[in-house]
Amino acid sequence: MPAEILTVHARLGALERQTQGSFGLHIWGSAITEETAWDNPLTACDEDWFGLTFQVRLSRDVPKEASSPALGLLLHKGEDKRIQVELSPSQVPEVGSSIWIGLGEMLTREPDVAEVPVGDLSTNGARGHWLSTQFIAWRAASIAPQGSRFLLHASASACSVDATRATDCGGYVKADTETALGAERGTFSLQDAGASGVSGDGPEGPWELTLAQSDLTPALATAHPYLKGCALLSVPQEVDARDLCRRQLALSMLGPDGKSLDCTGIQLGPLLDDVFGYSGPLGCHPQHGDKTLGVELMLWAPTAISVHVCLFEDALGPMKEMKSMHRRLHTADDGVWRVSGPPSWWGEYYTYRVQCFHPSMGRFLTADTPDPYSHACSADALRTLMCHLPSWYDVVPNQDRTAWLSQLPPPLSCRANAAIYELHVRDFSACDESVSPQLRGKYLAFELLGTNGDVHLRKLASAGITHVQLLPTYDFGTVPERASDRTEQNIPSDAGPDSEEQQQAAMAVADHDSFNWGYDPVLYNVPEGSYATDPDGGARILEHRRMIAALHAKGLRVVLDVVYNHTLASGATGTQSVLDKCVPAYYHRRSENGTYEASTCMNNTASERFMMERLILESIMHWVVEYRVDGFRFDLMGHITLKCMRRIRDSLDSLTLEEHGIDGTKILLYGEGWEFGEVAHEQRGLVAVQQQLGGTSIGAFNDRIRDSALGGSPFVDPRIQGFCTGLALRSWPSVADVEQGDAQHQLRELRSAQDRLRICLVASLKGYCLPVTHDGQEQVRGDQLQQGGLAYTAEPEESVNYVSAHDNETLFDNTAWKMPPSLFSPQERMRGSWMATSLVALAHGLPFFHAGDELLRSKSLDRDSYNSGDWFNLLDFTGRRSAFGTGLPTKAKNGDKWDLMRPLLRDASVRPTPEMVAATTAKFCELVQLRNSTRLIGLTDASDVLEKVDFPHCGPQQMPGVIVMQICNGPPARGGSSNSLLCDHFARVVIVFSSCLEAVRVPIPAVKASLRGGKLPMKLHPIQANSADAPTREASVLNDSSELHIPPQTASVFVEPLQD
């Protein structure tokens, strides 16, 4: 169809254009000829007094039945999103016309200058930043014309702290209903009146601000790097920041002629920390520490003008009473609202009714919320239950708190000896027919003895798995907690292996069934209710505790997956917004212009804020003390400040067996250290990304080993091969159109991947030197290899080695993508997955395995099964059922790959057989047993790794598909005598990882004179000599004892005994 031009004028003030950099227009929909990529939007072709001008190429004939939106427009700069418009087919303007956007409604005529606000106050922008009682930062002020004036505006007081309306309650104040209602009706609001300035000031204002300096002070620049270049405006001493925090605030700039040049709202986060940072008790507590005296409720809400507590007798009944909460007066004001109640309140439910200004809505609103410090709640977190966990014996296993607290977890010599198995609570039993139906998918399924899951977990623990990491078990909002509110999947059983019907049926109930990964936090300190037999009251607490005790009894410690980087909801509406109803726009990280950051997926939290950091720290300690948790995996940990994570590590380390019954030094702390979004390049200060974690004793997932082993990354063609999946050894034919380069390029990439894997095998230690690289460089440190950034750790425990996790494709599905049946046999594909597992199991650092790695688990190629339900997330510990070929995975996440998936899913030879699953489970246990058999595999001290590990046969002539790692015995580098040895059995261990598709011979490496080894003949490790896998048993030392024979696609472990 012929294409024509639609001219789009997007509002962006002149000062913003000068200070905020280049914005682009992202376009999408059926009405345009070509959608833009997010990172490559349309650039402006012109600008005028209104803003930026773009030319959008429209189809002349817009499809009448086009899905909405037919035209989408989004003005943005990276994640800074300013204006978004979505038009249905009937709303798309005619070709050749012009539209103006950014004033609320789309206009089809050029507006008059007098109609247009000068700033972004009317669209809830907030480019002012009140950093301390002394300074407000504003970038626009840095380019203000000579002679400009700056004003601080505050709405008329909607807070009853006004002397004329205050009700003094013995040093406290309670809200005045008349004034509060006036606030909600908009009586107290500021308006952008265009060139005439801001209207709606209270009687005290506005206040004149003086330009203190054109940039931040060094201290403020360190605290707020993303605001560098902002001018500082000095706040007059007479301004009462405590009072103004509870009003709507704005900045304006007046030019020399007195006309308004710009105006915007003000962000208060740093000021609230400065004025109202609070370390006292919050939530529900016994009065004066004694339950018999009654209850005290405390909510930190410094911007609120009124707070009430609403009381309910039970989880579903009507409100029986509403009581005003009180706040201290004047300088004693700590931002906390308090109310006391009689002992009869214990066991009742409550919510807070908070009235305050909501910047995202531009007005005062009243919202009901559960207590953010809840320890128990009703179903779906609608109400908080008044309780005191230390004295609530009904939620303690066997109602004996002393006995329960005295039970210790399975022994662990040190954190670096952990081996982690990631598991979803529902996956564990949802499809297990050996579990009674009422307990499938529940916490209590872990207590049952003799079930398929119980037998399997005990087998893994016996092999050497030390920890089970559970996907989120805090209260999340994406599964209805009452069974009556859920609708389970009904998948057509007769649909074909590549049919769309299964995913259609799954998606029809996806938001109403029992499954979700749960990365959608609502209440951080309450267990999820859908996993409990009763979502109301204390059952979820008791059953979560019993689950942890049951896993301990199986010999497994427990790691919880925690998500403090975002919340499910924000704003004043909706039942799942909590923190943002209490203190709007404080707990969440905002962009410089005031929008809520969403780089994590939604509603990013701001751990740089004092009270958010406090909430995270206290939440972690709550789970350790009250649930006996043994570790934490932080989702998107790179969005949490490094200071916060280090405080957590220090707090955990302070726990002792003598004082707390807990050895905090054994508690694991690791997470996703990815660097992206608004925190990248230290824009929000130091955050817990990989490159900052060396020496912190905090681990980060090592994506280098995953990508080098499997090939590519989760963000490219899934068919790209790696070390384990045939790169350069059996490559895709050119007709497959897989962009891997020619044969020589692939060979170089394979050798480069082998170098990367060598560094990964030594826990990605920054200080480890490769003797020679594939391109001939000598003595290259890990943190300098391949343009730097490869290695990031100072100790082995800081590298969490993995090749698969709940995110992205399973290990089996990755091998199915990369090792197609046209090139590889089922056995070769299976051994490819074994090779990937062996790299994780036998590397130094923490091994991490996804539940089902050992079962050839498939999700029918689903790359993101977070909401795909039980059908695609099938986990069968018997090995009889596989989800491979059970239909095309969900369209939203996988539809762009459906055409490539169809032939794979149709091919029955790809589907793993029960025999293959049994062999894989045996191989998995063998590999973990090998790791457990000697301290030389999985060294726990960096000094030992640097001294005792080497990689023979590397360099430009290294054998493609082969990595040799030698670990020699010797005295511990730290903490041992010169006569002691790390291992009592072996002088050295040599591990040969061969992904070659034929057997190879490898020379036996020499040994440094300073280390043990080289005196006696080597032999195959006894565990492998008795392997259930015949090819593994074929590995051998050749007769002349100078070479090792390595079977195809095998990790062979050879040992040299110690001399007597």
Nearest CA to 58 out of 42, 78, 46 is that of 42
Closest by CA to 220, choosing from 129, 301, 322, is 129
**From CA 422, how far away is CA 418, in angstroms rounded?**
13
H or E stretch covering 986: strand 986-994
Q: Hey, what are 561's tokens?
A: 């997956």
Instruction: Calculate helix-pair angle for 610-627, 539-553, nearest 10 degrees.
Output: 60
* SS3 letters across 280-327: CCCEEEEHHHCHHHCEEEEEECCCEEEEEEEEECCCCCCEEEEEECEE
Write the DSSP symbol of residue 137. E
The sign of the CA dihedral 106, 112, 114, 117 is positive
Active site residue 672: yes
Q: Is 120 helix (H, G, I), strand (E, B) or coil?
A: coil
Q: What is the dihedral of CA 845, 851, 852, 855, to 10 degrees?
A: 80
CA atoms within 13 A of residue 496's CA, in its CB half-sphere: 9
DSSP classification of residue 1049: T
Assign 141 to helix, strand or coil: helix
Sheet holding 24-28, edge to edge: 24-28, 71-77, 80-87
**Distance in angstroms (rounded) separating the CA atoms of residues 561 and 634:** 6
Least Cα distance to 501 among 79, 905, 176, 914 occurs for 905
State both tokens at 797.
């425990």
Contact 349, 383 (CB under 8 A): yes
Strand, helix or coil for residue 701: strand
Integer-rounded Cα Rg, in Å, for the chain is 31
Q: Is 382 exposed, middle or buried (0-12, 13-18, 19+ CB in 10 A)?
A: buried
**986, 934 in Cβ contact below 8 A?**
yes
| DSSP structural state of residue 35 | P
End-to-end CA distance of the chain: 85
Beta-carbon count within 10 A of 787 CB: 6
Instruction: Identify the CA nearest to 855 among candidates 839, 877, 826.
Output: 877
Whether 422 is catalytic is: no
d(CA 194, CA 197): 6
Question: Annotated catalytic residue: which of 201, 513, 630, 635?
Answer: 635
Own/partner pairs, 750-753, CB within 8 angstroms, 24+ separation: 750/723, 750/960, 750/961, 751/956, 751/958, 751/960, 752/786, 753/708, 753/709, 753/711, 753/722, 753/723, 753/727
Q: Which of 427, 592, 672, 944 is catalytic?
A: 672
Q: Which amino acid is at 673?
A: G
192: closest CA among 142, 265, 133, 243?
265
HSE value, Cβ hemisphere, 13 Å, CA-based, for 428? 28
Report which of 773, 733, 723 is spatially closest to residue 1049, judged by C-alpha positions.
Answer: 723
DSSP 484-533: GG-------TT--TT-SHHHHHHHHTTTTSS------EEEEEEE-STTSS
- Angle between helix 914-933 and helix 826-842 axes, rounded to 10 deg: 20
Q: Provide the annotated active-site residues.
A: 635, 672
